[in-house]
Structure 1
Amino acid sequence: MTDVTVPRRSTPGEVPDRRRQFLAGTIGHLVEWYDWSAYAYLAIFFADKFFPQDSASSLVPMLGTFGVFAVGFLARPFGGLVLGAFGDRYGRRAALTLSIAMMGGGSLLIAVLPTYAQVGVVAPVLLVVARLAQGISTGGEWGAASAFMVESAPPHRRGLYSSFLYVGSNIGKIALTSSGALLIALTGERAMGDYGWRILFGVGAALALVGWWIRRGAAETSSHAAEIRAGKAARPGIFEFVRRHPVPTLQVLGISLGPAAVFYTWTAYLPAYAVIAGGVTKGQALTAGTISLVVFAIAQPIAGVLSDRIGRKPLLLVHSVGFCAGTVPLLDLAGGSMLRLILVQAAGLLLLSCMTAIAAAVMVEIFPARVRVTGIGVPYSVAVAVFGGTAPTIATALQATGHVSWYGWYLVGCTALTLITVLTLRETYRTPLS
């Protein structure tokens, strides 16, 4: 499904069709995140299909399923390195078409997997294989998509263009959760657990094919890829980004780790926690997630435009200081009713948008074009793997041992590291891209 032929590229001084670029970046990212997020949102329905339940605890299947969730994240740094180097050498478009093909393949495999009852341990092994493919895809997606979108933007609209990566990803998640809620309404929660989750993974595989086709028709934004193919420039080394640019590498890592832990807590763990704690049904948890994601999506372009006017750092500081002060009180309010879950999720995601809307712009602005995809993709993927992918597992384990209240302070510590990193950044919203 991939295409590494010479991509279309605007000639010097020519502005690419920005509407087409905008569509390719946004729609493609939408599909990527529909597929990637399906696992987290649907875990409560298929956990017992792949992991036998210990009669003493209903948390055992969830722990196993979130363990595989974390395994997918461990593949992300490898994807950031390999697909990042591919994107720096062969172009952003080639990397994006490859990443979406891998994501769709993983979703298709999950949709047709046999259960533990049917094939035993082979079932969770194949589930791990599918998540590894999706983890590699997602690891390469962020760096390539960030470079592609921000390089396609007018100089005074980079924050806005950056924000639509998360608009796309949130629309993908909204499509997923609303489809899940509709299926539950039509067939019931039991049918959703029996076969409905397979339908949603199958839809994700089909959408990936559409996203691949859209991306294949986009214009390339990197002149370096053409120069490398023509022999006019040397290929960047696979670890050149960290050897020559250690400070930006650490800054990308630092500004990513806190938001990663918070994001996957708010979107992957809170719905499951609310269901297990009682007072919220599985259907209500999906509905609450959909409503809060709508708020999150609407906030993205607002924050992006604001950063283009007043700068990136004020919004980054609002996010970091806000979560340092508000994480524990917000988590204390979660659970007990659907309304409280909606309020906590929406409040947290609204605050998080101050970072997510402009993260791509900030990262692109601090890295040179030659190693931009790898320089963004690898440290970002490491942060997400270590702090984001493990967040639901850590939270669930603490809940199982009766120490769930400790988890909020863990998130505060992660956010404090991000705040320290933000203070080291220089303002870049008016700096020309290299």
Structure 2
Amino acid sequence: MLRGVSHGLLPTFAAVGWLAPVLLLLARIAQGISLGGEVSNASAYLGEIAPSPHRGRYSAFFYISTGGAVLIASLLGYFLVRILDKADMASFGWRIPFIVGGVLGIVGLWLRRTIDETEHFEKNKDKARHVKNPLLLTLRRHPKAVGQLIGYTMLSTLCYYTFFSTLTPFAINSRKASADDVFLALSIGTALFIALQYPMGMLSDRYGRKPQLLAWAAATAVLIVPLSTLITPNPWNLVVVFCVGLGLYTAMTSIAPAIMSEMFPTEVRALGIGAWYNLTVATFGGTAPLVNTALSEAGNANIFFWYVAAGAAVAFAAIWTLPETKGMQLK
């Protein structure tokens, strides 16, 4: 909640020396931990409050809000670099987005305190209190679900890192694209990403989760490398890359809370999602910048896209073993 405010109000190196970067590092770690903890709770909550026939479309609101936040943050950054010179950005401009985010976090806390626990949680909270070693319990009783969750989360985090992070510097530094063109293409792709969430959630309620996830993994495996060849200084090519990539990604993100909630019973749902989801994100998302940097320094930056394609193939195999869960009652 207050992480953004703390980032924005941190003292400078000139004022406190090496304590400044240490405080920044600690604040960023706290921010990562809090965000990781919220993913599982928010996913479980959306899955549990939704009527069974409409769980897909309810789930879509998770990434509608996430995508909206990414788009607003990008636009804010773009606006700041246009009105502030480099000296002002280095002096105080970089603090503004963190302070804005911190204020929004306070609003989020207020909203969260006003919502009630779900009926599923209230019915199972006593049972949950008596669960011993819940993390081991998920492995012992739900090993297949854990493996499936790791399989498709690996691809999801690689897709997120690829399209929302690595493609921008890759296009600018390796393919000599204009920074403004890349920003515009990413903004258009992100807007499409947001717009497709609800329709894709509705499709999953009608036709099923599994076909949608299989289509996402298969299309990513086949198209990610050809898409990378379209990253050129041509702005229209950039729009195609971001729109196709992020459009495909909505097939998964729109139903992520639904599919994860349907894999575990209520008493271990939040932990089953949170622990294994975050471990997978840390393993593959956390190392993705290192892999990308190492490949780039070796002059093989294009191989990163083959790495994502391989992850898509693994995810396809994991998704193939999933049962169809649309319309099911949560346990």
User: Are 1:238 and 2:138 an aligned pair?
Assistant: no
3-state SS in 1 of match to 2:325: coil
Preserved contact between residue 111 and residue 199 of structure 1 (Cα < 8 Å)? yes
**The one of 342, 347, 352 aligned to 2:249:** 352
SS at match of 2:262: helix
Given that 2:125 and 2:267 are in contact with CA atoms closer than 8 Å, whether structure 1 keeps it comes out as: no
CA 1:337 to 1:432, structure 2 compared with 1: closer, same or farther past 3 Å?
same
Q: Is 1:380 aligned to 2:311, yes or no? A: no
**Residue 419 of structure 1 pairs with residue 305 of structure 2:** no
AA of the residue aligned to 1:250: G
Number of residues of Structure 1 aligned to a counterpart in Structure 2: 330
> Paired residue for 1:368?
265
Amino acid at match of 1:130: A
Q: Map of 1:208-357 to 2, 5 A cutoff?
A: 208-221=105-118, 223-224=120-121, 228=125, 234-239=130-135, 240-277=137-174, 279-357=176-254
Instruction: Determine helix, strand or coil for the equivalent of 1:208.
Output: helix
Would you say 1:185 and 2:82 are equivalent positions? Answer: yes
- Check whether the contact 1:279–1:337 (CA below 8 A) recurs between aligned residues: no
How far apart are 1:220 and its partner, in Å?
A: 0.5
TM-align CA RMSD? 2.3
Q: Give the aligned partner of residue 10 of structure 2.
A: 113
Q: 1 CA distance for matches of 2:12 and 2:316?
A: 44
Corresponding residue for residue 69 of structure 2 = 172
Change (3 A) 1:248 1:278: closer
Poorly superposed stretches of 4+, deviation over 6 Å: none
Q: Residues 394-433 of structure 1 correspond to what in structure 2 (within 5 A)?
A: 394-433=291-330
Partner AA of 2:237 in structure 1: R
Q: Partner amino acid for 1:238?
A: P
Question: C-alpha distance in 2, partners of 1:357/1:139?
Answer: 18
Quote the offset at 1:423 in angstroms.
Answer: 0.5
Question: Alignment identity in percent?
Answer: 36
State the distance in 1 between where 2:198 and 2:279 align.
26
Which residue, out of 37, 45, 57, partners 1:160?
57
In structure 1, C-alpha distance between the alignment counterparts of 2:189 and 2:86, rounded to whole Å: 21
> Secondary structure, in 3 states, of the residue corresponding to 1:366?
coil
Query: Following the alignment from structure 2 to structure 1, what is the Cα–Cα distance between the partners of residues 326 and 159?
Result: 25
Assess if the C-alpha contact under 8 Å between 1:261 and 1:388 holds in 2. yes
Displacement of 1:190 in angstroms is 5.7
Please, what TM-score do these two structures have when normalized by structure 1?
0.71
- The one-letter code of the counterpart of 1:132 is I
Q: Secondary structure of 2:246's match?
A: helix
CA distance in 1, matches of 2:238, 2:20: 33
CA distance change for structure 1 residues 417 and 382 in 2, over 3 Å: closer, same or farther? same
Distance (Å, rounded) in 2 between the aligned partners of 1:272 and 1:327: 17
TM-score by length of 2: 0.92
CA–CA separation in structure 2 for the residues paired with 1:166 and 1:223: 23
Instruction: Quote how far apart the aligned CAs of 1:165 are.
Output: 0.3
